[in-house]
Structure formats: C-alpha cells, structure tokens
Amino acid sequence: MRKLTYFIACSIDGFIGDPDGDASSMFGFVDNDYLEFLKSEYPETIAVLGREALGLQDSPSRHFDTLVQGRASYQLALDAGITSPYGHLREYVASRTLEKSPDAGVEIIADDLVGRVRALKAEDRELDIYLCGGSRIAGELLDEIDELVIKTYPQVYGSGMPMFGSGFAVTDFTLEWVRTFDNGVLVRKYSRKR
C-alpha cells in the first residue's frame, strides 16, 4: 500500500498561509543550504519552473510519483499561466468548481476525494503520493495521511490558513526525524501512529 504524505510549509504557529492563503513571506528563508536539502532529498516537490531554474529537469523522483492538491493551490499556478505545475508527476486537483481540466496531464477529482485517494494508495507502484495542499483537502484527508513532512519557517502568523481545515480531532503521529538549518527553518517527518 502506498503512503499519502502531507509535505507542507507552515509558520511556527501552524499556518500554511495568511487569511487569503498567501505564504510568500516564507520564501525569504529558502537559502542555499536549505535549497540543497530540498534538491537532494525531495527534488520532485519543486514545481516545474523551479526545477528548470535549478537544472533539475532530469532529476529522478525519490519519494513521490503522484501529486494531489486543492483548487486554491492549483490556482496559484493557473494565475501564473501554468496549467501543469508538477508535470514530472501524475497530477490530481481536488475541485468542485473546475468543470474541465485546463491540461491533459491534470485530472480533476470533483467528488469522493477520499475514495479516489484510497484507490491511488492501493495502486501497485513503487513511489508514494505527495499531498501538496491545501488546508481543506488536508482536513478532508486526515484519516488517509500516513506521513507528515512539515517545513516550519521561523515566523508567527497569528491567524491565517491552518494546516488542517477540519473540525477538532486528535490524531497521533510519531516523530521520525528532525533537520534544522542555520536560517531557522526546521523540517520534521512524522509517521501516523498505528
């Protein structure tokens, strides 16, 4: 069974963006050391434009071959004129408002997100599934999330878009490892407690 990994950036207080979903204040922490970590450990999580700029077009995926993201996350790419932001992966966008995919390589999941993700997890493939965001689909998929990779930036938002847009539920995870960077960024990996 493949794993669903929520690989997400957040503030110290657990917000993945401001009240409108903007997380651009975090970009300033992407220095050389941190970028080298992402390039070597999680190259497939870098979107197409970043991969081109960094010369990673031919870098093989290490962890994921499939991506699931929400409509708001996908909209950021569409606003930039990019219809397939992770073209090196199989792309799925959870959306009840997009009637048709603007790209042949992007499949829209309009209903039964949990069922579709369960089917993706059951596929006989070597690599796992990258849950890119956002808050609402992470909340909807909480029971399906097997791992968390949380990139915490040294900022406090106070309010905004939470990591999980869902009702109250206690879900236990076990810390697997922590990586710290001189710029204050902290990356932690957790596995669901079974």
Domain of residue 119, CATH code: 3.40.430.10
Q: Provide Rg for the chain, Cα atoms.
A: 16
Question: Longest C-alpha distance within the chain, in Å?
Answer: 45
C-alpha 175/C-alpha 152 separation (Å) is: 14
C-alpha 115/C-alpha 113 separation (Å) is: 5
134: domain range? 4-192
Count of structural domains within the chain: 1
In three-state secondary structure terms, 120 is: helix
Q: Which of 51, 69, 68 is nearest to 60 (CA)?
A: 51
pLDDT per residue of the chain (194 residues) written in tens, 0 to 9 = 999 999 999 999 999 999 988 999 999 999 999 999 999 999 999 999 999 999 999 999 999 999 999 998 999 899 999 999 999 999 999 999 998 999 999 999 999 999 999 999 999 999 999 999 889 999 999 999 999 999 999 999 999 999 999 888 899 999 999 999 999 999 999 999 98
**pLDDT, position 167:** 85
Q: Label each residue of 48-66 as H, E or C.
A: HHHHHHCCCCCCCCCCEEE
The 8-class DSSP code of residue 128 comes to E
Q: Are 51 and 43 in contact (CB under 8 A)?
A: yes
> Hey, what amino acid is at 77?
A
C-alpha 50/C-alpha 60 separation (Å) is: 15
> Hey, what amino acid is at 103?
D
C-alpha 110/C-alpha 125 separation (Å) is: 24
Angle (CA) 41-43-45 rounded to 5° is: 110
